[in-house]
């Protein structure tokens, strides 16, 4: 992700009839935890050049339908959209220099970031760039020079690998025919978590290739693969940046049956959240708290970057726990008891009770753990001819969730 630090301009009062160049150098550096995505540092330099120099602008030929559904593109003014399209076309062609009709170099860099956020398949850009803003009488422009990590034959080979991998993932189960949208989102959520290993020093960790092909990445790779696969399945999905635990992080925003939800495949991976280095039981291989969650749920642990306004995410219809029938807005003894009895009868290894908020969680916690769960354990013991039944539980006040792990032997 490209971030900007405060910049200071000085006026060159000595050269008349010349143009002051504002050069913003974007240098990629590690930002916070190595497992997150890179930040950047900007510096400002001034140069002078003759006003006789005239820019050459490329003819932009981006089909309207190609950007119509792109989230970040939709947030821009008409002038900014023209810059966006010029940058998009230029980076696709690995152009060394892209001239755009905008004199705000800082904004050009931000628009470049938006292009990368909208197009996860652009893996050959490091995110670093040098932008030079020319102020000339009657107008101006910026000269944008992105840094490329891959080009030519190597880039084409990697693109072919990405295409082949995506076809294998989505074609094997004919996922495109899956309906409703929720099932497609869940399929991708589970696939990404099961197939990608969270590795802080993974190669190409900031792009799609790391997660989709190499199967090793950090949050940027998880989020870009999630976005790429869902877009191929016709599901709206965009890339979101912010912070968690005070560190930079990336996740996704999706639209499901007309409502917006957040999805975080990185935090759905227990390996990422694991701290003790021990093995993870099979029944805990995927955490579903970040599959189609509301902003109320997400904002307990995540904070959005402030530079973009995202759609409101208040619906819970397609939240995983709502769909699974274990989401509670208050203590409901009959329903909870029914859930426990059914899950024990079918020998489910896990029972989960997810609550809508802190008050519902606190209201239910003691009565559930010291009453209903113990009663259910007695039933389990009777069914198996035991004097007592063994179980363990995980109490999560942050996520307002209680998880019970049953042992049937």
pLDDT at 375: 85
β-sheet with 390-396: strand ranges across: 327-328, 350-355, 401-407, 390-396
Please check the confidence at residue 266 and state whether its pLDDT lies above 90: yes
pLDDT band at 53 (very low <50, low <70, confident <90, very high): low
Structure confidence by residue, pLDDT tens digits, 168-197: 999 876 776 787 899 999 999 999 999 999
- Residue 355 pLDDT: 97
Distances (CA, A) of 407 to 146, 256, 347: 56, 36, 9
Helices 219-232 + 152-172 axis angle, to 10? 60
Fold of 151-324: C8orf32 fold (3.10.620)
Would you list the domain boundaries of the chain?
18-148, 151-324, 327-409
What average pLDDT does range 254-283 have in this prediction? 78
Structure confidence at residue 54 as a pLDDT band (50, 70, 90) = confident
Whether residue 58 contacts residue 98, with contact meaning beta carbons closer than 8 Å, is answered with yes
Reported confidence tier of residue 272, pLDDT bands at 50, 70, 90? low
| 151-324 against 327-409: fold identical | no
User: In the structure encoding, which two tokens stand for residue 155, read together?
Assistant: 């880039």
CB contact set of 339 (below 8 Å; sequence gap of 6+)? 325, 326, 351, 353
Choice between 120 and 349, residue whose per-residue pLDDT is larger: 120
Predicted pLDDT at 386 = 62
304 SS3 class: strand
Rg of the chain over all Cα atoms, to the nearest angstrom = 25
pLDDT of residue 26 exceeding 90, the answer is no
Contacts of 277 (CB under 8 A, 6+ apart): none
CB 292 within 8 A of CB 319: yes
Question: How buried is 120 (Cβ within 10 angstroms: 0-12 exposed, 13-18 middle, 19+ buried)?
Answer: buried
Lowest mean pLDDT among 265-279, 298-312, 359-373: 265-279
Whether the Cβ atoms of residue 132 and residue 180 lie closer than 8 Å to each other: no
Find the helix or strand (DSSP H, E) in which 407 lies. strand 401-407
Q: How far is CA 170 from CA 190, 191, 256, 313, in A?
A: 13, 10, 19, 27
Q: Is 96 helix (H, G, I), strand (E, B) or coil?
A: coil
Assigned CATH class of 327-409: alpha beta
Higher local confidence (pLDDT), 286 or 173: 286
DSSP string for residues in 42-81: EEEEEEEEETT----PPPP---HHHHTT-HHHHTS-HHHH
């Amino acid at each position: 992700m490209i971030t900007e630090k405060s910049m200071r301009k000085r006026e060159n009062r000595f050269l008349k009839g010349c143009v002051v160049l504002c050069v913003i150098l974007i240098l990629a550096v590690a930002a916070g935890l190595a497992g997150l995505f890179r930040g950047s540092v900007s510096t400002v330099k001034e140069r002078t050049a003759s006003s006789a120099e005239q820019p050459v602008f490329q003819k932009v030929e981006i089909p309207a339908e190609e950007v119509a559904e792109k989230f970040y593109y939709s947030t821009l003014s008409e002038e900014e959209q023209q810059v966006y399209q010029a940058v998009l076309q230029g980076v696709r062609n690995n152009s060394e220099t892209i001239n755009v009709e905008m004199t705000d170099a800082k904004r050009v860099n931000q628009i470049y970031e938006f292009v990368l956020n909208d197009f996860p398949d652009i893996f050959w850009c490091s995110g670093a760039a040098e932008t030079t803003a020319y102020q000339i009488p009657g107008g101006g422009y910026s000269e944008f020079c992105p840094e490329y990590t891959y080009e030519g034959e190597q880039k084409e080979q990697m693109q072919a690998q990405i295409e082949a991998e995506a076809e294998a993932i989505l074609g094997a189960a004919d996922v495109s025919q899956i309906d409703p949208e929720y099932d497609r989102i869940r399929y991708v959520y589970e696939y990404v978590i099961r197939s990608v290993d969270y590795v802080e020093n993974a190669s190409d960790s900031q792009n799609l290739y790391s997660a989709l092909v190499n199967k090793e990445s950090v949050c940027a790779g998880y989020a870009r693969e999630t976005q790429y696969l869902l877009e191929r399945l016709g599901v709206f999905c965009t890339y979101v940046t912010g912070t968690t635990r005070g560190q930079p992080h990336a996740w996704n925003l999706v639209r499901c049956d007309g409502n917006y939800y957040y999805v975080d495949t990185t935090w759905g991976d227990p390996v990422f959240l694991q701290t003790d280095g021990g093995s993870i039981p099979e029944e805990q291989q995927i955490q579903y708290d970040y599959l189609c969650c509301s902003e109320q749920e997400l904002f307990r642990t995540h904070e959005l970057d402030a530079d973009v306004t995202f759609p409101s995410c208040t619906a819970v219809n397609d939240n995983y726990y709502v769909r699974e029938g274990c989401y509670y807005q208050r203590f409901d003894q009959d329903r909870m008891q029914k859930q426990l009895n059914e899950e024990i009868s079918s020998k489910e290894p896990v029972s989960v009770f997810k609550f809508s908020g802190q008050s519902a969680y606190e209201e239910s916690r003691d009565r559930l753990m010291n009453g209903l769960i113990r009663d259910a354990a007695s039933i389990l013991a009777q069914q198996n001819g035991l004097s007592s039944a063994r179980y363990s539980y995980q109490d999560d006040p942050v996520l307002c969730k209680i998880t019970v792990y049953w042992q049937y032997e």
